[in-house]
């Protein structure tokens, strides 16, 4: 019998002594390793996200004693506008990691979070009665398809919490009074931490209600209903335990209004782009998992899958959450395949070995933010304190590396608002409008994609010169300015 099979047997049929504890941990260890390897592989591709860059600067400013931000101080177009960061705690973690080891530290932070998510999935897989090997294989396939989303941003906290919260709710609903009390305390603690890392945590009470409603559908217990309502109230209260009070919750509508139709990950599931197709695939995985759960009368998981299916259908950024909930029931359903356990174990070990080799082969590309979103040489060449017009992609890099230069736009779209985003797009995309804008606002430097109509127009204007270029952008300065 293989080590993985022994572990599954130990989890299914407890034995006395310490050996049971060590073996029962094997699903946790194997899926944690799977999560870590997937994160390492993702870290070998560029982060390509300005949120990481400006988030690191914001966290660094907090650590430097500047206090929590309440208004914008990084742009000249929205300077002083009220700003409620939706991930202030995560930004502090980014800054700590960056202070310790630069972008390598940030990549390691992401690896640690995905390893923790894998460990939690190991617990969920074991509780679902699935074999360790099937759990690891399902995780590799499911999250491997969605590797695009697995880089170190605040959503990684969502991924861990979405697995942890249902486990704690189940414990609080199905345990003795003392054990339920401990689970409830753990649930509130997780909710508070999650809310301060990323305001997507407002779905915590919804998760509680979904799990509770599904459990009640099975046992029809008055105690289940009362405990569910109590837990939902506790998690709702925990959502207010932030330095910003109720502001993050009130701010959520602004985030969506500023994002839908402009930010790619807020698109609905569909067939218009590769990311939208991935969301459709996640919905298919969720549907198969739901059918399996209906057969087993696991209505708590069915309810969770329904919640995240609706979220994914409306915004593809939630696809990983749906996939994470689907993995344990899919792993259990895969166990119905007629294959010898030893064979499945060997396939799992082989898959992990291949993933390890692939990670080792790609080590040279580890922890690079990507030139496409940073243009480091051009950012360094910006004149001190110049008034900049830039594209959204490079805004985060300027905020991180050049705090002396205020940007015109960056990826804090919720703070700028939809009108400002559209103006920024028009400035670069409409040469005549952009030229007037540059003159009226006394702009003294432009850093934007080389193919942008404004860049083309200014490149041929008598008052401007091309100061530097790279593969993605051009830096333009007024003649006489160096």
The whole-number average pLDDT for the span 214-236 is 95
24/109 same-domain check: yes
Same structural domain, 175 and 286: yes
Q: Which residue has the higher pLDDT, 443 or 259?
A: 443
- pLDDT grade for 481, boundaries at 50, 70 and 90: confident
Q: CA angle, corner 262, sides to 261 and 268, nearest 5? A: 40
Identify whether residues 342 and 413 lie together within a single domain.
no
Inform me whether the pLDDT recorded for 449 exceeds 60: yes
What is the phi/psi pair of residue 327, to 5°?
-60, -50
More confident residue, 175 or 272: 272
Same domain, 22 and 126: yes
Total domains in the fold of the chain = 2
Same domain, 312 and 414: no
Specify the 3-state DSSP secondary structure of 477. Answer: strand
Span 73-97, average pLDDT:
97
Q: Is residue 54 part of a domain?
A: no
For residue 464, give every residue at least 6 positions away whose Cβ sits within 8 Å of its Cβ, in sequence order, or none: 446, 458, 476, 477, 478, 479
* pLDDT in the model for residue 129: 95
- pLDDT for the residue numbered 48: 80
Task: Indicate if the pLDDT at residue 199 is higher than 50.
Answer: yes
The phi and psi torsions of 243 (rounded to 5 degrees) equal -65, -15
Q: Residue 180 is encoded by which pair of tokens? A: 């339920």
The predicted pLDDT at position 18 comes to 38
pLDDT tops 60 at residue 21? no
At 231, list the tokens. Answer: 């837990």
Whether the per-residue pLDDT at 13 is higher than 50: the answer is no
For 374, phi then psi, to 5°, come to -125, -35
CA separation for the pair 106, 184 (Å, rounded): 32
Assign 36 a pLDDT band (cuts: 50, 70, 90).
very high
CA nearest neighbour of 157 among 119, 195, 208, 205: 195
Q: Mean per-residue pLDDT for 186-206?
A: 98
**% of the chain at pLDDT higher than 70:** 95
Q: The tokens of 300 are what?
A: 């708590």
Of all helices (H) and strands (E), which one includes residue 445? strand 445-449
* Domain boundary pick from 330, 364, 398: 364
pLDDT value, residue 15: 36
Give me the pLDDT at residue 17, please: 37
What average pLDDT score do residues 159-176 get?
Answer: 95
Query: Strand order in 445-449's β-sheet?
Result: 388-390, 445-449, 473-478, 464-469
Judge if 27 and 119 occupy the same domain.
yes
Question: Are 351 and 429 found together in one domain?
Answer: no
**What is the DSSP-derived secondary structure letter of residue 84?**
-
Chain segment 272-289, per-residue pLDDT in tens: 999 999 999 999 999 999
Distances (CA, A) of 270 to 143, 146, 284, 312, 313: 19, 15, 12, 10, 8
Q: Which residues lie across from 469 on neighbouring strands?
A: 474
The pLDDT value recorded for residue 16 is 36
Q: How confident is the model at residue 175 (pLDDT cuts 50, 70, 90)?
A: confident
Reply yes or no on whether the pLDDT at 24 is more than 50.
Answer: no
The residue segments making up the domain with residue 470 are 371-478
Q: Are 35 and 101 in the same domain?
A: yes
Residue 396 included in any domain: yes
CA–CA separation, 119 and 32 (whole Å): 4
Grade residue 401 by pLDDT with cuts at 50, 70 and 90: very high
Q: pLDDT tens, 344-387?
A: 999 999 999 999 999 999 999 999 998 888 999 999 999 999 99
Q: Mean pLDDT in the chain? A: 93
> Do 350 and 226 fall within a single domain?
yes
Residue of higher predicted confidence among 201 and 256: 201
**Is the pLDDT reported for residue 87 higher than 50?**
yes
How confident is the model over 132-161, as pLDDT tens digits?
Answer: 999 999 999 999 999 999 999 999 999 999
> What pLDDT does residue 5 have?
55
110 and 142 in a single domain? The answer is yes
Average pLDDT over residues 48-63: 95
Give the C-alpha separation, 312 to 282, whole Å. 8
Residue 23 scores a pLDDT above 60: no
Pair 12, 117 in one domain: yes
Indicate the SS3 state at residue 449. Answer: strand
């Amino acid at each position: 019998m293989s080590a993985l099979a022994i572990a599954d047997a130990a989890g299914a049929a407890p034995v006395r002594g310490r050996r049971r504890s060590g073996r029962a941990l094997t699903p946790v260890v194997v899926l944690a390793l799977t999560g870590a390897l997937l994160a390492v592989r993702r870290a070998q591709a560029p982060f390509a996200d300005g949120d990481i860059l400006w988030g690191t600067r914001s966290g660094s400013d907090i650590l430097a004693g500047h206090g929590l931000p309440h208004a914008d101080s990084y742009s000249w177009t929205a300077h002083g506008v009220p700003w409620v960061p939706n991930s202030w705690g995560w930004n502090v973690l980014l800054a700590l990691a960056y202070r310790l080891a630069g972008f390598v530290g940030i990549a390691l932070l992401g690896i640690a979070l995905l390893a923790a998510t894998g460990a939690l999935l190991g617990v969920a897989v074991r509780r679902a009665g699935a074999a360790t090997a099937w759990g690891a294989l399902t995780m590799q396939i499911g999250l491997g398809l969605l590797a695009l989303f697995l880089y170190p941003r605040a959503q990684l906290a969502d991924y861990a919490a979405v697995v942890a919260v249902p486990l704690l709710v189940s414990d609080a609903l199905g345990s003795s009074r003392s054990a339920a009390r401990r689970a409830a305390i753990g649930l509130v603690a997780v909710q508070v931490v999650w809310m301060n890392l990323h305001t997507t945590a407002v779905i915590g009470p919804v998760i509680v209600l979904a799990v509770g409603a599904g459990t009640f559908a099975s046992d029809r217990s008055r105690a289940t209903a009362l405990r569910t309502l109590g837990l939902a109230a506790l998690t709702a209260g925990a959502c207010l335990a932030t330095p910003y009070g109720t502001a993050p919750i009130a701010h959520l509508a602004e985030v969506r209004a500023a994002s839908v139709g402009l930010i790619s990950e807020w698109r609905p599931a569909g067939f218009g782009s590769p990311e939208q197709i991935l969301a459709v695939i996640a919905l298919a995985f969720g549907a198969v998992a739901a059918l399996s759960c209906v057969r087993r009368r696991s209505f708590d998981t069915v309810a969770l899958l329904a919640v995240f299916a609706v979220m994914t259908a409306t915004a593809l950024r939630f696809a990983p959450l749906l996939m994470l909930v689907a993995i344990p029931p899919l792993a259990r359903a895969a166990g119905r395949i007629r294959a010898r356990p030893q064979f499945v174990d060997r396939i799992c070990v082989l898959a992990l070995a291949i993933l390890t080799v692939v990670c080792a082969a790609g080590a040279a590309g580890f922890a690079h933010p990507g030139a496409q979103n940073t243009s480091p040489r051009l950012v360094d060449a910006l004149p001190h304190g110049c008034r900049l017009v830039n594209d959204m992609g490079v805004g985060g890099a300027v905020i991180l590396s050049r705090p002396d230069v205020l940007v015109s736009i960056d990826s804090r779209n919720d703070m700028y608002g939809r009108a400002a985003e559209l103006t920024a797009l028009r400035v670069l995309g409409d040469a005549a409008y952009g030229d007037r804008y540059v003159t009226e606002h006394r702009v003294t430097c432009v850093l934007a994609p080389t193919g942008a109509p404004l860049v083309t127009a200014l490149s041929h204007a008598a008052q401007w010169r091309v100061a530097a270029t790279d593969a993605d952008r051009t830096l333009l300065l007024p003649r006489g300015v160096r």
